[in-house]
Structure formats: C-alpha cells, structure tokens
Amino acid sequence: MAGRRTTPVFTENFARNLEALRLFLGTEGGLAFSRLLDRLFDDIIPTVCRFPQSGRPFLVHATHSIETQIRVKRLRARLQPGDDLREFILDDCMLLYVRRSNRLIFLALKHHRQLSFDLDQFWR
C-alpha cells in the first residue's frame, strides 16, 4: 500500500554486493561509490520503503535461455505466497528487493557493468 512505511531488511548478499561494488569501482570510483551510498540510504531506500511498488515487477521479464528459465524457476520456488519481487533502477545500478507483508527485503545491488558470473574462476 502506497504511503504506509515498511520495515527494511538487508540480506547478507546485499551487504556482499555493496562490498563487491566498492571493489569493482576501485580507488578511482571511490567518490562515485560514496555518492551512490548517500543516494541509496538517504533517498532511494526510504522512498521505496514508503512506496514499495515504485520498483517494477522483476519476474515479468522474458526469459530466452534455458539457464535463465532454470534460475527463474529456482527463484520462484524460494518466494513465499504473496511475495512481490521488484527491481528499482538507480543510475547505473539495479536494486532487487522483495515486498513481504510489511517488510521490504533488499536482496541485491548490481552495477550494469558487473558480470553475473566469475570470469576469474573460469579462466584459472
């Protein structure tokens, strides 16, 4: 419901994503990362907590590969009845969260240039 404040919950994965993003941006991106954190915690998260449907539904995206279809199936299996999985685009990042009852569970934050798989591990 719009206008009714919900309680934010941050997953360990979300915290790991923040650290990974800091490392990804490197020392040259320190100022950009600091600005992102300020905007995220001072503006975006409070706004999303107040208006949880401000993000767009995540599971409406078309899946074209078998791998993606398998991952979406696994993701759907982890959701509880009534969960509303949403994404919020923030500059160069995508914020993934689930609305569950009167809580917002922040799951992930990724920069659009971050890969979803570990190439270093692949090339060893």
Contact 96, 87 (CB under 8 A): yes
pTM of the complete model: 0.83
Structural domain for 14, as ranges: 7-113
Q: Is residue 123 part of a domain?
A: no
Alpha-carbon distance of 21 to 122, in angstroms, equals 20
How many structural domains comprise the chain? 1
Along the 124 residues of the chain, how does pLDDT read in single tens digits?
455 678 899 999 999 999 999 999 988 888 999 999 999 999 999 999 999 999 999 999 888 889 889 988 998 999 999 999 999 999 889 999 999 988 999 999 999 887 655 555 555 5
CA distances from 88 to 29, 61, 85, 99 (A): 22, 14, 10, 12
| Single-letter amino acid, residue 101 | S
What CATH number is attached to the domain comprising 46?
Answer: 3.30.2310.20
